[in-house]
């Protein structure tokens, strides 16, 4: 079946899905997006993703020309059109067509498009064995310049860090903020476990308000009865953690067993990490907006 793309209210074949070269989303990365997962006929935490989309748009003074209910219906419609019960949705809102200047006031109607497809960020084997990471030189954007809580189309900061990871044949990279504190990875939030306490960096160091991040924090408190803290920490704390893992919409919950050549604890996924992987996967089977 030919892939269908939602573009400005219509479902059209992939080959016909085009936007103007004068769209400021293309020219300047001026727009916002969400990555959303569907599991076995349900779209996971769709309302939280839409809340974040609208928060990001409001932060850059971008008016989304649809209500949240209309966007939700469009997401479901796109999944149905592609006969997907499980998959990945990329929901994008651009500033729209303008001129070659920066001024967003010269742009017309924002463009909205939705892509639904399959995704596998990491092979299942790595969820059993764990990832190896490397710290890169590219620093995380400071919130006072571009707040990472704005999920914008301008991902060059992350891409530069990803390039450094690629050059070292690493699947992911740890990014520090300007003060040397651990912020996040190129596409995922990061957690450590120390003395049965789950710790993740706070927003002010420069991290995305991850939907999976928040879900895992809730599961850790409610299901595993763990103490969960948002605290600053350095690479020293990474190297000496009892466990480490990453979270993200595409990655879900994935263990980390080595960072900058240092083995984390026993060099294999820990009990708490494995417990959270299980709890998260169970939750995705029972929660979400139904597609059919």
Residues forming the active site: 151
User: Quick one: which of 225, 196, 220, 228 has its CA closest to 280?
Assistant: 220
Residue with the two structure tokens 């079946």: 1
Q: Report the alpha-carbon distance of residue 250 to residue 172 in Å, rounded.
A: 13
In SS3 terms, 100-112 reads as CCCCHHHCCCCEE
- State the chain's maximal CA–CA distance in angstroms: 57
The conformation of residue 138, written as its DSSP 8-state character, comes to P
The phi, psi pair for 184, rounded to 5°, reads -165, -175
Residue 255, beta-bridge partner list = 245
Q: Report the alpha-carbon distance of residue 81 to residue 70 in Å, rounded.
A: 16
The alpha helices in the chain, defined as continuous H runs, are: 24-28, 46-59, 68-81, 124-129, 156-167, 211-222, 235-239, 271-286
Assess contact for 201 and 181: CB atoms under 8 A.
Answer: yes
The phi, psi pair for 79, rounded to 5°, reads -60, -45
Can you say how many angstroms the Cα of residue 137 is from the centroid of all Cα atoms in its chain? 21
Q: Report the alpha-carbon distance of residue 257 to residue 27 in Å, rounded.
A: 39
Q: In this structure, are strands 111-117 and 87-94 parallel, antiparallel, or unpaired?
A: antiparallel
């Amino acid at each position: 079946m030919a892939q269908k793309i939602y573009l400005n209210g219509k479902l059209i074949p992939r080959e016909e899905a085009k936007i103007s070269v004068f769209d400021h989303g293309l020219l300047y990365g001026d727009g916002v997006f969400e990555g959303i997962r569907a599991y076995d006929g349900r779209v996971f935490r769709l309302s939280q993703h839409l809340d974040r989309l609208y928060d990001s748009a409001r932060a850059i003074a971008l008016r989304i020309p649809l209500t949240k209910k209309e966007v939700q219906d469009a997401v479901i419609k796109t999944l149905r059109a592609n006969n997907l019960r499980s998959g990945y949705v990329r929901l994008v809102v651009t500033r729209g067509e303008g001129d070659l200047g920066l001024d967003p006031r010269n742009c017309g109607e924002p463009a909205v498009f939705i892509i639904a497809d399959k995704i596998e960020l990491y092979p299942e084997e790595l969820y059993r064995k764990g990832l190896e990471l490397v710290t890169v030189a590219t620093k995380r954007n400071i919130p006072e310049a571009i707040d990472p809580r704005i999920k914008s189309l301008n991902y060059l900061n992350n891409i530069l860090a990803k390039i450094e990871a690629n050059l070292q044949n690493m699947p992911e990279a740890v990014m520090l903020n300007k003060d040397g504190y651990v912020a996040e990875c190129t596409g995922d939030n990061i957690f450590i476990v120390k003395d049965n306490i789950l710790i993740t960096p706070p927003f002010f160091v420069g991290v995305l308000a991850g939907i999976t991040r928040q879900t895992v924090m809730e599961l850790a408190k409610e299901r595993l009865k763990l103490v969960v803290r948002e605290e600053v920490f350095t690479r020293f704390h990474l190297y000496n953690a009892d466990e480490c893992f990453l979270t993200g919409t595409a990655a879900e919950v994935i263990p980390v067993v080595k960072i900058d050549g240092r083995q984390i604890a026993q060099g294999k996924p820990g009990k708490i990490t494995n417990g959270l992987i299980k709890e998260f996967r169970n939750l995705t089977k029972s929660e979400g907006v139904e597609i059919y």
